[in-house]
Each structure stands twice: as C-alpha cells, then as structure tokens.
C-alpha cells in the first residue's frame, strides 16, 4: 500500500470519529447552556434557583428590574426571601435580595434539567 492510499484510508476512518466528537461537543454545550436556543420563563428560572424539589413557590415574574423570584431560605422549608434576578443571554443569573433582608447574592445558570423539570 502506497503512502497516498494509506492517507486516504486514515481519513476515511477518522471522519466518522471527528463527526461524532463534533456532535457530542454540540450536545454537551446545549445541555449546559440551553437558554440561547430555548429562552427562559418564570417556571424554568424558579427550578434553577430553588431546585425541582424545593421549587413550587410559584414561577418567577418578569419585572422592570429583571425577574422577581422567591428563593427558599437556607435551612428552612417554609420561608422564602424575594430576590431580583438578572439573567444574561447564556442563562446565567445573579439573584440579589429585593429588600436587603436575610439572604445574600446568589449566582448560577439555567441548565437543560431546569428546562425539563427533572432532578
């Protein structure tokens, strides 16, 4: 087998692997940052802030400053603090207590599980 034939054979074998890896990278990126494609809504943002199990305080509401959400207070199963949440185009958010009450600034990103409502 001459060098040119070996080169073509190598390329034929490498192309499916390269295509698979390319698709895998796109799927992982979409799972980590789905918001540019899917957008966000109040229920998805609530799940991202509180988790699916603690969610259910009601969806976040869009307000002039961004979103208004209730976040469960740490260590409590019944009290929550109102936060103003800013979401960037990638779905990453910064939550600041609305009234300066208990709580502190929190950050995170909406992921595909928040959109699907699982875990």
Domain ranges of the chain: 35-116
Residue 35 CA: distances (Å) to CA of 28, 29, 111: 13, 11, 8
This prediction's pTM? 0.70
Expressed in angstroms, the distance from the first to the final Cα of the chain is: 54
The predicted structure's pLDDT at residue 67: 94
Q: Report the chain's mean pLDDT, rounded to a whole number.
A: 83
pLDDT beyond 60 at 25:
yes
Sign (positive or negative) of CA dihedral 31, 89, 80, 64: negative
pLDDT confidence bin for 111, thresholds 50/70/90 = confident
Using DSSP's 3-state secondary structure scheme, residue 67 falls into strand
How large is the average pLDDT for residues 33-45?
Answer: 86
């Amino acid at each position: 087998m001459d060098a040119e034939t070996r080169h073509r054979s190598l390329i034929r074998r490498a192309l499916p692997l390269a295509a698979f890896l390319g698709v895998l990278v796109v799927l992982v990126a979409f799972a980590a940052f789905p918001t540019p494609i899917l957008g966000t809504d109040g229920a998805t943002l609530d799940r991202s802030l509180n988790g699916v199990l603690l969610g259910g305080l009601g969806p976040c509401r869009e307000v002039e400053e961004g979103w208004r959400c209730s976040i469960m207070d740490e260590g409590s199963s019944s009290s929550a603090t109102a936060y103003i949440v800013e979401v960037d185009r990638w779905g990453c958010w910064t939550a600041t207590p609305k009234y300066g009450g208990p709580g502190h600034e929190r950050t995170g990103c909406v992921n595909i599980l928040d959109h699907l409502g699982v875990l």
